[in-house]
Amino acid sequence: GENVEQHPSTLSVQEGDSAVIKCTYSDSASNYFPWYKQELGKRPQLIIDIRSNVGEKKDQRIAVTLNKTAKHFSLHITETQPEDSAVYFCAAPPDNYGQNFVFGPGTRLSVLP
Amino acid sequence: DTEVTQTPKHLVMGMTNKKSLKCEQHMGHRAMYWYKQKAKKPPELMFVYSYEKLSINESVPSRFSPECPNSSLLNLHLHALQPEDSALYLCASSPSDLLNTEAFFGQGTRLTVV
């Protein structure tokens, strides 16, 4: 089955700095790669996703890059703000269809004011 | 309405109790999911319903029994649970399970088994 890993497990940055979280997956058939943000006590929410036909996608301060050959994708957050503090989960489905995502173990991001 | 609503928000139940968790969405989504999330862990998929039929059961113990009465509602019936089943139970929905898309999560039911 799909194995998803994330690094680092915790990350502390100063407000205004950039943060990068890397996700690796094992199943070559995966073609959709979302990132979810979960604030303390709240629901996971999608912040950005990418499909395998593109190498990079950007939405304001957030970007995702994909290296399908190496089977990893990364979340980039620029100009971090305290409200970016949360746990971030990457996910990878084992195939093109279905939502039986395997989530990575999560990265706890703390943005220090 | 772009929300997935779960009730109750909190539930405490004894090991001999029977209770149900409820989930509702009015986005016309045809795939609905139950996830279990333990503290400081990622969500773990339990069940997937596609077009009101159970399509995935991730080897969940029979003390958890899902039900999809219609395309907007998803229930999780609980019976004879163990303390280790205490967790946050998340419901999610997506337009369909025919192509990977965003899953919209409810706020969860925090379940404590005593």
- The verdict on B76 touching A (C-beta cutoff 8 Å) is no
Chain A residues 62-91 with a CB less than 8 Å from chain B: 89
Q: Pick the closest to residue B93 from B101, B85, B81, B83 (CA basis).
A: B101
- The verdict on A34 touching B (C-beta cutoff 8 Å) is yes
Interface test with B, best of A3, A48, A99, A108 (most B CBs within 10 A): A99
CA distance, residue B94 to nearest chain A CA (Å): 8
Q: Pick the closest to residue A46 from B26, B62, B43, B89 (CA basis).
A: B43
CB B23 within 8 A of CB B5: yes
Residues facing residue A14 across a β-bridge: A112
CB A88 within 8 A of CB A35: yes
Tell if the CB–CB gap between A103 and B42 is shorter than 8 Å.
Answer: yes
- Nearest-CB residue to B102 (from A46, A98, A105): A46
**Per-residue model confidence (pLDDT) at position B79:** 96
Closest chain B CA to residue A42:
B107
Tell if the CB–CB gap between A43 and B55 is shorter than 8 Å.
Answer: no
Interface test with A, best of B100, B101, B102 (most A CBs within 10 A): B100
Percent of chain B residues past pLDDT 90, beyond the cut:
84
pLDDT in tens, B35-50: 999 999 999 999 999 8
CA distance, residue B113 to nearest chain A CA (Å): 19
pLDDT in tens, A42-68: 999 999 999 888 899 999 999 999 998
- The verdict on B106 touching A (C-beta cutoff 8 Å) is yes
Lowest mean pLDDT among A73-87, B33-47, B94-108: B94-108
**Per-residue model confidence (pLDDT) at position B98:** 65
Strands B4-7 and A45-51: unpaired
Tell if the CB–CB gap between A98 and B56 is shorter than 8 Å.
Answer: yes
CA distance linking residue A65 with residue B37, whole number of Å: 27
Tell me which chain A residues have a C-beta less than 8 angstroms from the C-beta of B49: none
pLDDT of A99 strictly over 80: no
- Please give, one letter per residue, the 3-state secondary structure of chain A: CCCEEEECCEEEEECCCCEEEEEEECCCCCCEEEEEEECCCCCCEEEEEEECCCCEEEECCEEEEEECCCCEEEEEECCCCHHHCEEEEEEECCCCCCCCCEECCCEEEEEEC
Closest chain B CA to residue A33:
B100
pLDDT in tens, A18-47: 999 999 998 777 788 999 999 999 999 999
